[in-house]
Structure 1
Amino acid sequence: MNAPPLTVSPATLLVIAKEPVPGRVKTRLTPPHTPQEAAALAEAALTDTLHTMLQVPARRRILVLDGTPGPWLPPGFEVVPQVYGDLDERIAAAFELCDSGSALLVGMDTPQLTPELLADVGRDGHDAWFGPAADGGFWALGFADATRAGACVRGVPMSTDRTGTVQRRRLEEAGLTIGDLPLLRDVDTAADAAAVVTCCPPGSRFAAALASLAGTVR
């Protein structure tokens, strides 16, 4: 008799984000955009990301939020406030929200993300998953055992052009096998936005928002 196929539970999906409030998000988009316009682009990027994550099989979906949920939040997410501290501490604490098993964290800066890019996470036999960002950071980080995250993340210098290199090396030093996800570009500047929008899937809210602002850029 043939053995039944091995089943793998879906990962817990984490989105770490900041409430899209003018003056608090995407400040490097100003100029050329106003703080209100930058916040509108941030909201669109976050909304696209959340809806993409709804299309990825998951055990749980958690929005780890700095701020208050708004009408941009679709059903299907638990909302948990971010802890106080530097970004490495906030990321580590986000993984500590997870049950046992695999978990993947993404940010709100890659509206070009598609479900297909995450199809193998938690299912391909790797111990960790790493998505590098073009600015030297990373857009995704995952662990087959979420309890391994804290030791690998805490102490990594964030928001530098070496963040991704240091973070991936920490995974290697922990003896983890790594599944590499594609290189993506974060939306931080107007040039980033113009480049990323060409990669967004059909129906992208971010693409629509940027197009609506095209005639208002000063």
Structure 2
Amino acid sequence: MSACTPPAGATTLLVIAKEPVPGRVKTRLTPPFSPGEAAELAAAALEDTLRTVLTLPAARRVLVLDGRTGPWTPQGFDVLAQSAGTLDERIAAAFGSVAGPALLIGMDTPQITSALLATALSPGGWDGCDAWFGPAEDGGFWALGLAAPDPGLVRGVPMSLPGTGRIQRARLTDAGLTVRDLPPLRDVDTAEDARYVAAAAPHGRFAEALTRLGGAVVR
């Protein structure tokens, strides 16, 4: 199976995220951070992610949100409420809401740059390619792109496990898709992750928030 090459900027960019509410986001950051501080870090991570996505070529930018928008929500995004269900069902529904090539990323990798995604979003990014896969260091994935979005390629994949990424990628290849890989990235789950990611993107709002809250940055 092989997708036709869409023109530059023909990819829909999806960002799946939670409203940064204390006690509902980044709970593994507590301790050492309070629930309010963890939510502040989540908001900064989300803001960095959305700002980067605004710099990328896209047919459409969609924030797939669990909750309500806030001051961290920039203009330039359509906002779509997340569906009910488990994470695999919510990701599947996000892909099912769009037509044409789509690339989904989460809010846990504020260190993303336009350079990291340049190959996937280039004019030839889908030439001979049916899917893009961005593995996460914890065994999950930080990005998933589909030339022809099919919810069935995600629905039923067990999420938040050490083998999630392996299972998801195998789902793609077992369906006969040609898969290309993006560089692996580290998600922000723990305080150690936060320090590592802030060091990778020292000029972002996430790094600024971490420093202000007393988190030391690993260099």
Question: TM-score, with normalisation over the residues of structure 1?
Answer: 0.92
Aligned to 2:116: 117
Alpha-carbon distance in 1 for matches of 2:39, 2:45: 10
Q: In 2 relative to 1, CA 173–37 (structure 1 residues): closer, same or farther, beyond 3 Å?
A: same
Alpha-carbon distance in 2 for matches of 1:129, 1:97: 18
Deviation at 1:90, TM superposition (A): 0.2
Equivalent position to 2:147, from 144, 147, 150: 144
Aligned partner letter, 1:143: L
Gaps of at least 5 residues in structure 1 are 1-5
Do residues 186 (structure 1) and 176 (structure 2) align?
Answer: no
Matches within 5 A, 1:70-149: 70-99=70-99, 101-122=100-121, 123-124=124-125, 125=127, 126-146=129-149, 148=150
Structure label with greater radius of gyration? 1
Q: In 2 relative to 1, CA 208–152 (structure 1 residues): closer, same or farther, beyond 3 Å?
A: same
Structure 1 segments of 4 or more deviating over 4 A? none
Q: Provide the aligned C-alpha RMSD in A.
A: 1.4
Aligned to 2:3: none
Alpha-carbon distance in 2 for matches of 1:19, 1:178: 31
Aligned partner letter, 1:120: T
Alpha-carbon distance in 1 for matches of 2:205, 2:130: 33
Q: In 2 relative to 1, CA 72–9 (structure 1 residues): closer, same or farther, beyond 3 Å?
A: closer
Aligned to 1:61: 61
Alpha-carbon distance in 2 for matches of 1:142, 1:79: 19
Q: Does the 8 Å contact 2:195/2:215 carry over to 1?
A: no
Deviation at 1:115, TM superposition (A): 1.0
Alpha-carbon distance in 2 for matches of 1:62, 1:77: 5
What's the % identity of the aligned pairs? 63
Do residues 169 (structure 1) and 170 (structure 2) align?
Answer: yes
Alpha-carbon distance in 2 for matches of 1:73, 1:163: 29
Aligned partner letter, 2:11: A
Aligned length: 207
Deviation at 1:96, TM superposition (A): 1.2
Alpha-carbon distance in 2 for matches of 1:32, 1:117: 31
